[in-house]
Amino acid sequence: MKVYNQEQLGNLRASGRILRGAFEVLEKAVKAGVSTLELDKIAEQYIIQKGGEPCFKGYQNYGFSICASVNEESIHGMPRKDKVLKDGDIISLDCGVRYPKGKKGMCTDAARTYGVGKISNKARQLIEVCEQCFHVATKDLRAGVRVGTIGEKIEAFIGGRYGIIDTYFGHGIGENVHEDPLIPNFNVANADEKRREKLIERASVILPEGVVICIEPMINCGTKEVKTGKDGWTVNTVDGELAAHYENTLIVWKDRVEIVTLGQYL
Ligand code: MF3
Ligand code: CO
């Protein structure tokens, strides 16, 4: 696991500030009639104008600055000209910034789920619960804590009310979007037998002081089962139920966490 110097942490905070600004602009742009491709362009322009670069673009040949996942799409929704928001939809937006642009840059990654116009109580509750999962997981999180406690707290909080996706993970971040350690957002003890042993081992890692991680609960109204769509990216719930995603980048310190993409700086 990498830890970063003061200059790099300064760049990480600047990166997080740009990402927060991008979400402010995106939240305002989320309206009936807008396409997810238009949202992608809005985010990209904002990030570049602030001296950053969209760090998803080019990652594993991904062609966009955001992932935009609508209703039963859970994560990695590919922006499309013909995916137009309508009243009552929910949309999960996932975005990453590298700052400054280029090799020395530091990455931040965050996701939010927004409602479009008037949404159902069921949708609103899902969005709230997903965000609460993040806060439940970060309460009392600090250096010396075992990675597995993050997902254990999320799963205990959910208590079977929702499906928690267990085939995608949080992650370390910094010089690259994905770094060690692996961060399960679910309780690895409940993983299917084939994967359980390996996951328990990875969840036993102890977080060192100064490590930078992303925690990103992915919560479904129905079951946890998801599958990738025909475009090779968009991940959908198998039962067609609504899905939400909430993510922040944070630094783990001795006695607290610094949630960079919420503007909580040390
Ligand atoms: N935010 C995603 C994650 O946390 C990254 C999206 S994949 C990309 O892993 F290809 F779009 F970058
Ligand atoms: Co992430």
Q: Residue 105 C-alpha to ligand 2 middle, in angstroms?
A: 17
Q: Which atom of ligand 1 is nearest to the CA of 168?
A: 9
Angstrom distance (rounded) from CA 253 to CA 26: 30
> H or E segment at 21?
helix 6-29
- Here the tokens at position 248 are 């922040």
- Residue 266's pLDDT is 79
Q: Residue 172 C-alpha to ligand 2 middle, in angstroms?
A: 9
Going along 79-178, which residue ranges are E strands?
90-99, 106-115, 163-164, 170-172
Q: 148 phi and psi, to 5 degrees?
A: -60, -25
Helix axes 6-29, 36-49, angle to 10 degrees: 140
- Residue 265's pLDDT is 87
Could you say which ligand is closest to the alpha carbon of residue 215? Answer: 2
Nearest CA to ligand 1 atom 8: 56
**DSSP code, position 61:** G
Sketch the domain layout of the chain as residue ranges: 6-265
**In testing the pocket of ligand 1, which one of 55, 60, 93, 177 has its CB within 8 Å of the most ligand atoms?**
177
**In testing the pocket of ligand 1, which one of 44, 67, 216 has its CB within 8 Å of the most ligand atoms?**
67
Angstrom distance (rounded) from CA 71 to CA 64: 20
The domain 6-265 is placed in CATH, from the list 3.30.70.2740, 3.90.190.20, 1.10.10.10, 3.90.230.10, at: 3.90.230.10
Q: What is the pTM of this model?
A: 0.98
- Residue 44's pLDDT is 98
Per-residue pLDDT of the chain (266 residues), as tens digits, is 999 999 999 999 999 999 999 999 999 999 999 999 999 999 999 999 999 999 999 999 999 999 999 999 999 999 999 999 999 999 999 999 999 999 999 999 999 999 999 999 999 999 999 999 999 999 999 999 999 999 999 999 999 999 999 999 999 999 999 999 999 999 999 999 999 999 999 999 999 999 999 999 999 999 999 999 999 999 999 999 999 999 999 999 999 999 999 999 87
